[in-house]
Amino acid sequence: MDRENFFSRKAPFLKGTAGKGERLEQIFAANIDNVVIVASANNPVFNNRLIDRITVAAESSHVDVIIVINKCDIGTAEEIEDWKEIYTACGYDVFVTSVKENIGLYQLSEALKNSTNLFCGMSGVGKSSLLNSLFPQLEFKVGEVSELLHKGKHTTVSAVLQKVDENTIIIDSPGIREFAPYGITNEDLSHYFIEFKPYMNNCKFNTCTHQHEPGCAVIEAVDNELISVERYYSYLNILENIEDIPKY
C-alpha cells in the first residue's frame, strides 16, 4: 500500500556501537491517524521529556497526538492536573485513566473509534493493561515494574496490529527506553513545538533559535508564562542533543 504517512525514530545504537556511524531510521508504523502516548502518573514516574520527544516526531509526520496519563489512582492529583493543563494548552487531547479504578476508559475508547492508533510509551506504564481493558479480545501479555530500578520490564517485543472493530485499528509497540526523533534539524525543531507558532514570527531575527537571541518572542512568551517552561526546557534539551542518544 502507498504510505500516506509514517511514524519513526532514530534506531537505537546496537550494543558496542555507540558513537560509531550514522544512526538509521526505525519505522514504527505507517498510515496511522493517532500516536497515543501512554505515560504513568507514578511507578514509573511521569516522563514529560519522553512525551515531548514523541510529540516532535508525531508533528513532523503530520500525525495527531493523544496523551494518556495512566495509573492516576497512584499519582498526585495536583501534579496530574498540572501536566494535563500543560498539554491541553498546547492543543493535545489528554485523558487521565486508571484501569484499577475504571477511570477515563470510556472517554478514551470513544476517541480511538474509526481510526488507526499507534500506542507507545515507556515499559511499565500500563499500556498493555490499558489496551486489554479497552478491548478485552486483545489479551496482551501484561508485565510488571522492576522494584529495584522502578522501570518497566519489556513485555511487548514487537509491534502488533489488531483490528478491534470494523473501522478501528490498534497498534501496540514495544516499551520505549530511548527516543530520538529522526530527520529533525535545528532549524525545523521549533515548528514541531506547536505552542511556539503564535510567537515565532514576532522574533527579531528570522533565524532565531529561541535560545539566547535578543528580541526572541518565544523566550518572552515563556517569561510571561504563555509557554510552559517545562516544554521550553524540553525544546532546549532536544536542540542541544539533536544528534545524540537521549538520556533521561
Give 71-96 pLDDT, tens digit per residue. 999 999 999 999 999 999 999 999 99
Where does the pLDDT of residue 20 fall: very low under 50, low under 70, confident under 90, or very high at 90 and above? low
* Cis before 181? omega within 30: no
Q: Is the pLDDT of residue 152 over 50?
A: no
Instruction: Find, among 89, 18, 86, 10, the residue nearest to 48 by Cα.
Output: 86
Instruction: Give the Cα separation of 39 and 124 in Å (integer).
Output: 9
Residue 161 is given by DSSP the state E
Instruction: Give the Cα separation of 64 and 61 in Å (integer).
Output: 9
pLDDT value for 242: 81
Buried b (16+ CB within 10 A) or exposed e, 228-244: beebbebbeebeeebee
Q: Is the pLDDT of residue 149 over 60?
A: no
Distance of CA 54 to the CA centre of its chain: 4
pLDDT average, residue stretch 36-46: 96
Q: Is the pLDDT of residue 143 over 70?
A: no
pLDDT value for 35: 98
**3-class DSSP assignment, residue 142:** coil
Query: CB 152: neighbour CB atoms within 10 A?
Result: 24
Amino acid letter, residue 122:
M
Which three three-digit cell numbers place residue 178? 530511548
Residue 210 is given by DSSP the state S
pLDDT average, residue stretch 156-169: 85
pLDDT average, residue stretch 12-21: 58
pLDDT value for 148: 42
Instruction: Give the Cα separation of 26 and 181 in Å (integer).
Output: 10
pLDDT value for 184: 92
Q: Is the pLDDT of residue 151 over 50?
A: no
Give 118-140 pLDDT, tens digit per residue. 999 999 999 989 999 999 988 77
The model carries a pTM of: 0.88
CB of 142 within 8 A of CB of 128? Answer: yes
CB of 94 within 8 A of CB of 88? Answer: yes
Instruction: Tell me the domains of the chain and their CATH numbers.
Output: 6-172 (3.40.50.300), 186-240 (1.10.40.50)
152 against 88, higher pLDDT: 88
In the block, cell 539533536 appears at 242
pLDDT average, residue stretch 92-109: 97
